[in-house]
Structure 1
Amino acid sequence: MPTNPAKPQVPPPESAVIQWLLDADPAIRWQVLRDLIGAPAKEVAAERA
């Protein structure tokens, strides 16, 4: 039994997929910032506004 739980695999922010998501639908941009990039809450809130 492993002692360390597996960490979620998240692509680095410079990946093409992340950039594609950021350039896509504005309705998901804030979610990408929050969930995949780990942007500060203030930046996410500004994007949602």
Structure 2
Amino acid sequence: MTEQTIEVEELEIDKQVNLMDQFIADGGFAKAFNDVPGLPESVVESLKEVS
């Protein structure tokens, strides 16, 4: 691998991390699992804490 290839891969990883951070900040986990029937209340509460 060249240094340039490594830098491009690091930038891609940073973008993915930023997307996940934004997903969490926007309450993505809670929204994604909000309408799933049968989730235990403890799981629902944990999702709220993450979001």
User: Shorter-chain-normalised TM-score: which range?
Assistant: 0.3 to 0.5
Would you tell me which structure has more helix in proportion to its own residues? 2
TM-score calculated relative to the size of structure 1: 0.34
TM-score calculated relative to the size of structure 2: 0.34
Highest relative contact order (Cα 8 Å, sep 6+), 1 or 2?
2
